[in-house]
Chains A and B, each alone.
Chain A
Amino acid sequence: MKNNKKLPNEAQMKTGVSRRNFLKSLTGTAAGIGISQMFNPAFVSALTEELKKHPVIWIQGQACTGCSVSLLNTIDPSIADVLLKVISLEFLPTVMASEGKMAMENLYHIADKYQGKFSLAVEGAIPTAANGKYCTIGEYDHKELTMVDIMKDLGPKAGSVLAVGTCAAYGGIPSAQGNVTGAMGVMEFFKKYSIQTPVVNIPGCPPHPDWIVGSISHLLTKGIPELDSDGRPVIFFGENIHENCPRLEQFDNDNLSEKMSSPQGCRMDLGCKGPDTHADCFQRKWNNGMNWCVDNSVCIGCVEPGFPDLTSPFYEPA
């Protein structure tokens, strides 16, 4: 939305333009589900007590923290509201106050107390080679726990799992060709260890904050959203980027960019993966509507199960 780059005033930053856009895009594709209501402040406030009964535990495996940082970029609700009101975020290593023994004891305390009710958000892939030693999480009960241990312990206890980001959803870069760590996403891991807990994939490298907050809120208030065959919520990943691209008309008119920095033209000849990619970036845009990959260069297909091996080389011509 390059025509909407004015910095919102403080009031709007909290409640204004972006909320409208967000709701519009949600209701546009999800009419009848009514999930937009959950972003009404009064509704959120009424839910606060209820949500405390369904805390979120967010753990990080082979991750870059980019998904957590993307979550911090949520506009509406603001991250302050997410942290303080919308989600009872009991464990998130990047922001929580506690560390060491206290953090690990709290992790297991919450998982036991809210067994079957808490949501487990997983960021990063799970390395299964070398007995899981490629990723350690922390010490609990005098034992050094790996990401594999934690997933085996908490996976079955959780009411639901959110695989946040392409690494957790499908393995992502840690599982790309050449990897030696046996990295895999949550669904593959659960299959391997026969864990039955339902999983919602929120891919993206990183996922858009709306995809994360929207999916968590839907899960906590309405249950599991409708998923596509790759386990992704249809409301966010139901449409093809190329078919909905604002530059589609330029493609139809054979106006194809020949240089990466050309302001105009369809990016097809530069390697754009829009035709094989399903996400609503084309209308949601990124970072408060500032920009998106296709206007800046090309789509690299980061929400797709084949990322990065099947969506690269990212650039053409070779």
Chain B
Amino acid sequence: MAGNKPETKSLSKGKLKPGIMSGNKKIKVAIDPVTRIEGHLKVEVEIKDGVVADARVFGGMFRGFEQILIGRDPRDATQITQRICGVCPTAHATASALALDDAFKLKLTPNGRIARNLILGANFLQSHILHFYHLAALDYVNGPDVAPFIPRYAKNDIRVSKAINDAAVEQYLEALEIRKICHEMVALLGGKMPHVQGIMVGGTTEIPTREALNAFAERFKVVKKFIMEKYIPIVYLLAGPYGDLLKTGGGYKNLVSWGVFPMDDAGNTLLKRGVFTDGKDGKVNVDLIKEYVKYSYFDDATTGLNPKQGQTIPNPDKKNAYSFIKAPRYNGKPHEGGPLARMWITNPELSKTGQDKLGVKRMRDIGDAAFSILGRHVARAEETAIVADAVELWLSQAQPGKETFVSSPIPDAAEGLGLTEAPRGALLHYIDIKDQKIANYQITSATIWNANPMDDMGQRGPMEQALIGVPVPDPENPVNVGRLIRSYDP
């Protein structure tokens, strides 16, 4: 796509299509399952006057990691919790290792911090590229006419020309190679991928050699070129024909980011820690997180708890419940996590492509359009460039042969908190160690912030709220519902 010119420069040409089929009577539409995501999700929307009037998002799977962890060697948590998500295991490994570093009272070596950043950073690149091309793109372009790219909606609202569609399919295939190369980068320092061996309490287990760093750098060059020349341009290209999708799907506009990628030993992060509530910035206070379960399949007695006191007691037959996802709230309010949250809170300069296309300099200059279906894709693509730049910096800082690991005995009793970011949002691990074993382990994972159900106060989850007002002109082909869901990368 490098040589292609965007079809249109303006982002505001598209208009919301009026409702044509649903009229003013209510129609219920369910998408079950929602595909091209990680995990099991169902969505049900009520359509009135051609737009979504009400929405419910159902989390349909429970494994019970928190119970399974109890009684185990605390160090094993880093291996076990990675298996929560095969797309972002490095993020769970990082959160778990941070919680254990905290409990073991360990300070990493500088090389250990940098090696962890390189492992997590390489997988951020992998995850964002995988998400855009292999999970989301089929909402905007048609794949080849073979399974698994068919069947597809009869009227799937694809608005790009054949030339652009062909180029996008070519990029889809190229991106399969590129994301695989990102995994090679992860494996060079992390052992293998998915599920790395290399991230552990105390740092990373393999001291990088010059050869491994060179191999990493050689691969990174290919990946960065793809990000800058293909991924970012095509996201802005889609904003032409799909410009109306910059005006819908905003939701609450409340955001959380725990911050990720420590840039120094003091813990200052590349992507900042912060909250944004009702239009105001705030500092993170972990005590203000509460998890509600009125509409979740968990024991009512456990509602409203901070993760440090958290309990996970399933009750799959609970009346009125509709999801295995708890509803976390920050200071009593639903908040969105993910690239949009991090980029808004950090507010960095946009890529040159972004500045040219949008005519603005920084993330927040995008304004309200950032809070939209396509806005989330723009935030994700721009974040990919920011992380790529940082990977380059860490590569220059990594010292071959220098220690990355600090060992320490398991404490008899200790608590630890690990706050980081998965590609798809804010991630918290909490561990309570007693008699050198795990006594309690609580995880508030990324998608839980976005895909959660209604809370005890009657507030919808962020995705549910963002669905309200999304145009669904043709209930037989509810394309925009899937587009909205996938914009969060659940």
A-side residues, CB < 8 A to B, are 2, 5-7, 13, 55, 60, 62-70, 72-73, 75, 78-80, 83-84, 88-104, 106, 125, 127, 130, 133-139, 144, 172-174, 176-181, 183, 205-206, 259-261, 263, 286-288, 290-293, 295-298, 300, 302, 308, 312-315, 318
- Check B411 for interface membership: any CB of A closer than 8 A: no
Most buried by A among B35, B173, B183: B35
Q: List 28 A-B contacts (CB under 8 A).
A: A5-B211, A5-B214, A62-B63, A68-B86, A72-B134, A72-B176, A73-B193, A94-B37, A94-B135, A96-B36, A97-B148, A97-B149, A102-B152, A133-B297, A136-B42, A173-B63, A177-B68, A178-B69, A180-B64, A260-B407, A263-B206, A286-B193, A287-B186, A291-B187, A292-B191, A297-B191, A312-B76, A318-B73
Residues of B contacting A72 in the complex (Cβ-Cβ under 8 angstroms): 130, 134, 176, 179-180
CB A232 to nearest CB in B, in angstroms, measures 19
Question: Do the beta carbons of A286 and B176 come within 8 Å of each other?
Answer: no
B197 within 8 A of A: yes
Q: With A296-B197, A296-B206, A297-B191 in contact, is A98–B152 under 8 Å at CB?
A: yes
B192 and A7 contacting across the interface, CB-CB below 8 Å: no
Complex contact A291–B188 (CB within 8 A): yes
**Interface size of B in residues (CB-CB distance below 8 Å):** 97
B60 at the interface (CB under 8 A from A): yes
- Asked if B482 lies at the interface with its beta carbon under 8 angstroms from chain A, I say yes
B206 and A93 form a contact (CB under 8 A): no
Smallest CB separation, B333 vs chain A (Å): 29
Contact with A along B349-386 (1 / 0, CB 8 A): 00000000000000000000000000000000000000
Residues in A neighbouring B395, C-beta threshold 8 A? none
Residue B207 interfacial (CB < 8 Å): yes
Additional 7 contacts, C-beta under 8 A, given A2-B209, A136-B58, A315-B76 = A5-B188, A62-B63, A80-B173, A97-B138, A179-B63, A206-B194, A296-B192
Of the residues A73, A291, A315, contact of B73 by C-beta under 8 Å: A315
Chain B positions within 8 Å of A, measured between CB atoms, are: 30-40, 42, 58, 60-65, 67-73, 75-76, 79-80, 83-87, 89, 130, 134-135, 138, 143-144, 146-153, 173, 176-177, 179-181, 183-184, 186-188, 190-198, 200, 202-207, 209, 211-212, 214-215, 218-219, 222, 297, 314, 316-317, 324, 403-405, 407, 410, 436, 482
Assess A100 versus B211: contact at CB under 8 Å? Given A291-B192, A300-B79. no
- Residues of chain B within 8 A of A173, CB atoms compared: 63, 65, 68, 80, 83
Residues of A near B146 (CB, < 8 A) are 84, 88
Most chain B CB inside 10 Å of its own CB: which residue of A2, A180, A287, A300: A287
Given the interface contacts A73-B180, A89-B147, does A135 sit within 8 Å of B60 by beta carbon? yes
User: In the complex, are the beta carbons of A133 and B218 less than 8 A apart?
Assistant: no
A261 touches B206 (CB 8 A): yes
CB-based nearest A residue for B172: A80
* A96 touching B71 in the complex, CB below 8 Å, given contacts A84-B144, A173-B83: no
Rounded to whole angstroms, the CA-CA distance of A183 and B37 in the bound complex is: 22
For B314, what are the chain A residues with a Cβ–Cβ distance below 8 Å?
134, 180
Closest B residue to A5 using CB positions:
B215
Task: State in angstroms the CA–CA spacing of A60 and B134 once bound together.
Answer: 17
Residues in chain A near residue B324, CB distance under 8 A? 134
Contact A287/B183 with A135-B60, A259-B405, A261-B207 known, Cβ cut-off 8 Å = yes
Q: Which residues of B contact A65 (CB under 8 A)?
A: 38-39, 85-87
Tell me the bound Cα distance from A83 to B133 in angstroms.
15
Decide if B87 touches A96 in the complex (CB within 8 Å).
no
Min CB distance A77 to B, Å, is 12
Q: Do A2 and B148 touch across chains, with their CB atoms under 8 A apart?
A: no
Kindly identify which residue among A96, A259, A286, A314 contacts B187, using a CB–CB cutoff of 8 Å: A286
Residues from chain A with a CB closer than 8 A to the CB of B206 are 261, 263, 291, 295-297
CB atoms of B40 and A98 under 8 A apart: no
